[in-house]
Amino acid sequence: MPETTMAAALNTALADSLERDDRVLVFGEDVGKLGGVFRITQGLQQRFGETRVFDTPLAESGIAGISVGLALAGWRPVAEMQFDAFSYPALNQTISHIARYRYRSRGRAPMPVVIRIPEAGGIGAAENHSDSPETYYAHTVGLKVVVPSTPMDAYDLLVQSIADPDPVVFLEPKSRYWSKESGELKSGGLPIGRARVVREGGHCTLIAWGAMVSRCLEAADLAAEDGVELEVVDLRTLVPLDLETLAVAVRTTGRAVVVHEAPMTLGFGAEVVARLVEDCFVNLEAPVLRVTGYDTPYPPATIEEHYVPSVERILSAVGRVLSY
């Protein structure tokens, strides 16, 4: 089986989607000749031409705003925001228009738009290059929010997102771009909106998405050495949230820890915990804890390792949960 990086898998997903549907357009800042600052769009312009794959002026609201018009004209825009925090100038277009167009038009004008955003930290980047903006998007009704954690799933989820009739904010955990996985790139696996149990374990359920899934797996490996079996659930999609898979997992173990990189207060973990309390209160043996980034701006690169949830912090939370 060939090994593929997440970056290569995403590149192939874009290429296959451009190939399959000639209404798909890929655009953003530096996505053309350079192939994107993370090379996710490498070679696409050469292969599909400057009409299908093009650089835009440096203006994020413009990138999101033309997506609306292009979708209305029958195209399927796949827009790239260069970094997480650079997606904020586009929030007005994303929230006020992309997310609401289908609703406002009574279903007549769908927005099959994908906004790809390299997100989260852990790569020693400069300020404004490491944010985890998922809550802004997850709180915006009308958007789907997808966060892959592995190369194979990244391929599948991106192909599905581009084919999806609804707007999708596709968050790419940039610290995982160079992670490798063996297997064949194929679509048609678990649909958007379904979580995945990536490791079984009876003592406690770890719930994560994006880059934190592999961190949780590391923690589970270590815990197993001490005889503690941790289950790991990869949400894959924050909106719509797969409550059923979550509830089954948590009812089985009776204990859960949610792990994410965004700040704790009103982070998506708060939503997960609230849902679990509503659905599984009688099955819970302990409070559901969160291990998250702190309620600070994402810190400078030289101290970011103290901010991003570590294996130690995860295991410490597991210890507290198990001690109930």
Partner 1 sequence: MKVEEPQPLVDQEPADVPFRLLTPDGTLQGDLPPGLDRDRLRDLYRLMALVRRADLEATALQRQGELAVWAPLSGQEAAQVGSAFALQPQDMAFPSYREMGAAVVRGVDIVDYLHFYRGTWHGGMYDPAEHGFGMISVPVASQCLHAVGWAMGAAMDGKDACALAYFGDGATSEGDFHEACNFSAVFKAPAIFFCQNNGWAISVPLSKQTAAPIHRKAAGYGLPGVRVDGNDILAVVQVTQEARQRAVDAGIPTLIEAVTYRLGPHSTADDASIYQPREEVERWQALEPLSRYRTFLESQGIADAAFFGSVDEEAAAIAAKIRAGIAAAPPRPVHEMFQWVYEQTPQHLARQRDEVLHGGQDADA
Q: Give the relative orientation of helices 311-322 and 211-225 as an angle to the nearest 10 degrees.
A: 60
User: 144-146 and 180-182 as β-strands: parallel, antiparallel, unpaired?
Assistant: unpaired
Q: Which residue lies nearer to partner 1 by CB, 105 or 265? A: 105
Closest to partner 1 by CB, 159 vs 321, is 159
Structure tokens at 102: 């289908």
Query: Of the listed pieces 119-127, 235-243, 249-257, 287-295, which binds partner 1 according to CB under 8 A?
Result: 235-243
Where does this chain touch partner 1 (CB under 8 A) — which range of 31-39, 66-74, 201-209, 312-320?
Answer: 66-74
Considering only 43, 49, 69, 202, the residue that binds partner 1 (CB under 8 A) is 69
Q: Which of 89, 287 has the CB closer to partner 1?
A: 89
139 is catalytic: no
Which residues, 180 to 199, sit near partner 1 by CB under 8 A?
A: 193
Cβ proximity to partner 1, 65 vs 118, nearer residue: 65
Answer yes or no: are the C-beta atoms of 54 and 33 closer than 8 Å. no
Spatial distance between the Cα atoms of 125 and 132, rounded to a whole number of angstroms: 13
Per CB under 8 A, which of residues 13..32 are in contact with partner 1? none
Determine if 93 is a binding residue for partner 1 (CB under 8 A). yes
Looking at the chain, the number of H-run helices and the number of E-run strands are 11, 14
- Helix intervals (H) in the chain: 6-20, 44-52, 60-72, 91-92, 101-104, 134-138, 151-163, 211-225, 243-253, 268-280, 311-322
Closest CB to partner 1 among residues 97, 236: 97
| Residue 243 in the binding site for partner 1 (CB under 8 A) | yes
Residue 113's nearest CA partner among 172, 80, 71, 63 is 71
Report how far residue 303's alpha carbon sits from residue 42's, in angstroms, rounded to the nearest whole number.
Answer: 32
* Window contacting partner 1 (CB under 8 A); options: 40-48, 99-107, 151-159, 222-230: 99-107
Cis peptide before 299 (omega within 30 of 0): no
Which one, 200 or 279, has the nearer CB to partner 1?
Answer: 279
Contact between 103 and partner 1 (CB under 8 A)? yes
Site size toward partner 1, by CB under 8 A: 45
Taking the complex as a whole, how short is the minimal distance between the CB of residue 190 and partner 1, in angstroms?
16
- Is residue 102 a contact residue for partner 1 (CB under 8 A)? yes
The angle at the Cα of 310, spanning 276 to 264, to the nearest 5 degrees, equals 45
258 with 271: CB under 8 angstroms? no
Identified binder of partner 1 from the candidate list 32, 36, 65, 210, rule CB under 8 A: 65
Alpha-carbon dihedral angle through residues 53, 56, 59, 65, given to the nearest 10 degrees: -60
Query: Among positive and negative, which fits the CA dihedral 34, 50, 80, 175?
Result: negative
Q: Does 165 bind partner 1 (CB under 8 A)?
A: yes
Query: Considering 97, 129, 203, 260, which one is annotated as catalytic?
Result: 129
**Binding segment toward partner 1, per CB under 8 A, in 54-62, 195-203, 256-264, 312-320:** 54-62
Binder among 1, 51, 188, 281 for partner 1 (CB under 8 A) = 51
Catalytic residue positions, numbered: 129
